[in-house]
C-alpha cells in the first residue's frame, strides 16, 4: 500500500521534502497558496530526479503521485505524515496546525522550523503530542540529516514513529536530547556566520575568500569527519587529550567576536550582496543548484564507497530497499513465476561512468549486468549468507553487445531473461534499456561452485527450485535477437 505525506509550504525546503518523499515511493499532497508553487516544485523535482537516483545502487521505488490542492484539508486527506515548511512566523504555524488537526486529528506533524522549539510549536494545540520538529538541511533530497526535537509532551512512540518515517525516505534522524533553540546544526552555523560577517565588515576578507577558506580547507574535513574527530587526529598519536592541552589555552585569546553581532543595516546588506553578486552572479540559481548537487553526489558516493559518514546512511537505505525488493520478487516466484523478463536493476548514468565520447563506458555495462545478476541471486536465495556458507555462482563466460548509446543522466534498467538452467548452471540474457531502446545486451553463463573445493556442484534445493521456476516461465519467451551470437558474426 502506498503511503502518503502532505507538504504544507512548497518553497525551497518544502519542495525538497516533496522530492525526497516522492522519489522514495510516497504519494505527496501539496498545499501552498503561492500561484507559482507548481512551477517552483517542478524545478526542484527536475534537479532531484537527476541527483538522488545517482546515490542509489538498488532499484528506486516507483515514484509516488504528486498532487496540488487548494486547501489544507484536501492536501492532508489520507496522509499519515505532514511536513510543515511555512514561513518562520509562530502565529502562522499555530494557525496551520489548528487546521491540520481539525481536518486529520491523529496526523503526525513534523516542522521544518529553523529555530522554534517543539514546546513553542505545540502551544494551544489540542493534541501537542503529535507536533514535533524535523529540521532538514538544503537540499533536502540529497542531505540526509533531519534533526528530530521533541518536548516533554511528545511520548517516546511519537519520536520513534518520526524516526521510522525519516529512515524510510533515506534520512539520518538525529534525535536531540534536550530542547534547545535552533537545535545543533544552526547553533553551530550561526556562530560561523557571525564571525564571517565581522571579517567581511572589518575588510579582512571578501565573501569569496571566506568561502575559499572553507571549501579548500576545513570544510573538506568536516564533510567526512565532523569537528571532534578532525581535532582528535590533530592531536596526533596522543589523541584528543593532547589536542586539548595544546590548543585549549587559545580559548582565552581575544580572537572571537561570537558574543558580539555586527549591526544589521543597509550598509552591511549592500556589502554582502554586492560581493556575493561579484562572486557568483554569472550563474543562475538553478545552475548553482545543479553544480551543488553534482558536487554533493560525488562527495556522498565517495563516502558510500568507504562506508563512512553520510555514506553509511546511503548504504543502509540501499540495503533496506534491496531486502524489500528481493523479498517481494521471491514472494512472486513462490506464487508462480511470470513469463516475462525480470527488471533487476534500475539506475542512472553517473559522471564517472562516461568516456571521452560522452557515452557510458564498456566496464559500466558489465557493472549493470553484474548488479542485475546479483539481484537475481539474492532473489533466489543465493545472496551473501549463501556465499558465507560456502557456495556461490561464478561467471564463466560473458558476451556484451553495444547496440546504442547511454549518456550522462540517462535512466537505465536491466531486464533479465533466463535462457536455460539446471542444478549446476544458468545462462542469462540481460537487456540494458534506456526507455524503450535497448542500448546493450549481456549474455552470460554462470556456474554453481562449492568455493572451498573450486568445483561445480548442484545448487541447494531451495535455490534451484526458484531458479527452475524462472527458467520454466521464461522458456515460453522467444529466444532474444542476438542470443548465442559470436563476436564479429554478420548480423
Instruction: Determine if the peptide bond prior to 139 is cis (ω within 30°).
Output: yes
Q: Are residues 389 and 429 in the same domain?
A: yes
Q: Give ∠ CA 374-375-376 in degrees, rounded to 5.
A: 90
Task: Tell me the C-alpha distance between 109 and 301, whole Å.
Answer: 31
Per the DSSP assignment, residues forming a β-bridge with 299 are none
The backbone torsions φ and ψ at residue 204, rounded to the nearest 5 degrees and listed phi first, read: -75, -35
The cell numbers describing 329, all together, are 520478487
288, part of any domain: no
Which pLDDT score, from 0 to 100, does residue 273 have? 86
d(CA 16, CA 19): 5
Q: Are residues 274 and 251 in the same domain?
A: yes
pLDDT at 52: 92
DSSP 127-154: -GGGEEEEEE-SSTTT--EEEEE--TTS
Task: Round to whole Å and give the CA distance between 487 and 336.
Answer: 36
Q: How many domains does the chain have?
A: 3
Task: Residue 61: count other Cβ atoms within 10 Å of its Cβ.
Answer: 17
Q: How far apart are CA 424 and CA 172, in angstroms?
A: 43
Cell match 534533526: residue? Answer: 147
The dihedrals phi and psi of 456, each to the nearest 5 degrees, come to -75, 130
CA dihedral sign, ordered 299, 412, 314, 44: positive
| Residue pair 151/117 in contact by the 8 Å Cβ criterion | yes
**Both 166 and 250 in a single domain?**
no
Residue 161: inside a domain: yes
458 and 359: one domain? yes
Q: Which three cell numbers stand for residue 67?
A: 498532487
| Residue 326 within any structural domain of the chain | no
Q: 135: domain CATH number?
A: 3.40.50.720
Residue 322 located in a structural domain: no
Residue 102: which region, alpha, beta or left (left: phi > 0; alpha: psi -120 to 50)? alpha
Same domain, 267 and 139: no
The conformation of residue 215, written as its DSSP 8-state character, comes to I
- The enclosing domain of 436 has a CATH number of 3.10.129.10
pLDDT tens sequence for the chain (491 residues): 899 999 999 999 999 999 999 999 999 999 999 999 999 999 999 999 989 988 887 778 889 999 999 999 999 999 999 999 999 999 999 999 999 999 999 999 999 999 899 999 999 999 999 999 999 999 999 999 999 999 999 999 999 999 999 999 999 999 999 999 999 999 989 889 999 999 999 999 999 999 999 988 999 888 888 888 888 888 888 888 888 787 777 666 666 666 677 788 898 889 888 888 888 889 888 888 888 888 898 899 899 999 999 999 999 999 898 888 777 777 776 667 788 999 888 888 877 788 888 899 999 999 999 999 998 999 899 999 999 999 999 999 999 999 999 998 888 999 999 999 999 999 999 999 999 999 999 999 999 999 999 999 999 999 999 999 999 999 999 999 999 988 777 76
238 lies in the same domain as 163: no
pLDDT at 256: 60
Rounded Cα distance, 314 and 60, in Å: 13
Do 203 and 169 fall into the same domain?
A: no
Instruction: Tell whether 169 and 227 lie within a shared domain.
Output: no
Query: Which of the 8 DSSP states describes residue 6?
Result: E
Same-domain pairing of 225 and 278: yes
User: Is 291 domain-assigned?
Assistant: no
In a domain, 414, yes or no: yes
Question: Do 135 and 147 touch, CB atoms closer than 8 A?
Answer: yes
pLDDT of the residue at 422:
97
Q: Quick check: is 123 in a domain? A: yes
Contacts of 456 (CB under 8 A, 6+ apart): 424, 425, 447, 448, 449
Both 169 and 190 in a single domain?
A: no
DSSP character string of 390-439: TEEEEEEEEEEEE-S--BTT-EEEEEEEEEEEETTEEEEEEEEEETTEEE
Q: What is the pLDDT of residue 254?
A: 62
Residue 479 in domain: no
CA distance 264 to 88: 19
Same domain, 137 and 58: yes
DSSP state of 88: S
Domain boundary among 175, 199, 221: 175
Burial label for 69, CB within 10 Å (0-12, 13-18, 19+), is: middle
Instruction: Write out the residue range of the structural domain in which residue 132 sits.
Output: 4-175
CA angle 457, 378, 166 (to 5 degrees): 160
Amino acid at each position: 500500500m502506498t503511503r502518503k505525506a502532505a507538504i504544507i509550504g512548497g518553497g525551497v525546503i518544502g519542495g525538497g521534502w516533496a522530492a525526497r518523499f516522492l522519489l522514495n515511493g510516497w504519494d505527496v499532497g501539496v498545499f501552498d497558496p503561492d500561484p507559482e508553487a507548481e512551477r517552483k516544485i517542478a524545478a526542484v523535482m527536475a534537479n532531484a530526479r537527476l541527483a538522488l537516483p545517482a546515490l542509489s545502487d538498488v532499484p528506486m521505488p516507483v515514484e509516488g503521485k504528486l498532487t496540488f490542492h487548494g486547501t489544507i484539508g484536501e492536501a492532508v486527506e489520507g496522509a499519515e505524515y505532514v511536513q510543515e515548511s511555512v514561513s518562520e512566523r509562530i502565529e502562522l504555524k499555530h494557525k496551520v496546525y489548528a487546521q491540520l488537526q481539525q481536518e486529520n486529528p491523529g496526523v503526525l506533524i513534523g516542522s521544518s522550523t529553523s529555530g522554534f522549539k517543539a514546546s513553542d510549536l505545540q502551544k494551544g494545540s489540542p493534541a501537542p503530542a503529535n507536533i514535533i520538529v524535523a529540521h532538514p538541511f538544503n537540499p533536502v533530497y540529497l542531505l540526509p540529516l533531519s534533526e528530530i526535537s521533541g518536548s516533554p509532551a511528545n511520548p517516546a512512540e511519537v519520536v520513534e514513529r518520526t524516526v521510522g518515517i525519516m529512515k524510510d525516505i533515506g534520512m539520518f534522524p538525529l534525535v536531540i536530547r534536550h530542547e534547545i533553540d535552533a537545535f545543533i546544526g544552526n547553533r553551530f552555523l550561526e556562530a560561523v556566520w557571525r564571525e564571517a560577517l565581522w571579517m567581511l565588515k572589518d575588510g579582512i576578507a571578501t565573501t569569496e575568500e571566506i568561502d575559499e577558506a572553507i571549501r579548500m580547507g576545513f570544510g573538506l574535513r568536516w564533510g567526512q569527519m565532523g569537528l571532534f574527530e578532525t581535532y582528535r587526529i590533530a592531536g596526533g598519536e596522543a589523541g584528543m587529550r593532547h589536542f586539548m592541552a595544546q590548543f585549549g589555552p587559545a580559548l582565552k585569546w581575544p580572537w572571537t567576536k561570537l558574543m558580539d553581532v555586527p549591526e544589521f543595516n543597509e550598509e552591511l546588506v549592500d556589502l554582502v550582496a554586492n560581493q556575493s553578486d561579484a562572486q557568483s552572479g554569472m550563474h543562475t540559481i538553478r545552475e548553482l543548484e545543479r553544480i551543488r548537487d553534482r558536487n554533493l553526489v560525488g562527495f556522498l558516493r565517495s563516502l558510500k564507497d568507504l562506508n563512512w559518514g553520510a555514506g553509511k546512511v546511503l548504504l543502509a537505505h540501499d540495503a533496506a530497499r534491496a531486502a524489500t525488493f528481493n523479498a517481494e520478487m521471491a514472494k512472486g516466484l513462490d506464487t508462480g513465476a511470470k513469463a516475462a523478463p525480470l527488471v533487476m536493476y534500475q539506475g542512472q548514468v553517473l559522471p564517472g561512468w562516461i568516456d571521452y565520447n560522452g557515452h557510458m563506458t564498456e566496464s559500466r555495462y558489465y557493472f549493470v549486468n553484474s548488479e542485475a545478476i546479483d539481484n537475481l541471486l539474492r532473489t533466489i536465495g543465493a545472496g551473501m549468507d549463501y556465499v558465507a556458507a560456502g557456495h556461490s555462482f561464478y561467471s564463466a563466460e560473458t558476451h556484451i553487445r553495444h547496440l546504442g548509446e547511454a549518456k550522462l543522466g540517462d535512466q537505465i534498467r536491466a531486464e533479465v531473461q533466463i535462457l536455460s538452467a539446471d542444478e549446476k548452471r544458468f545462462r542469462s540474457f540481460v537487456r540494458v534499456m534506456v526507455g524503450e531502446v535497448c542500448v546493450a545486451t549481456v549474455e552470460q553463463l554462470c556456474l554453481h561452485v562449492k568455493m572451498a573445493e573450486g568445483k561445480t556442484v548442484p545448487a541447494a534445493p531451495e535455490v534451484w527450485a526458484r531458479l527452475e521456476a524462472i527458467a520454466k516461465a521464461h522458456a515460453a519467451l522467444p529466444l532474444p535477437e542476438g542470443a548465442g551470437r559470436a563476436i564479429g558474426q554478420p548480423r
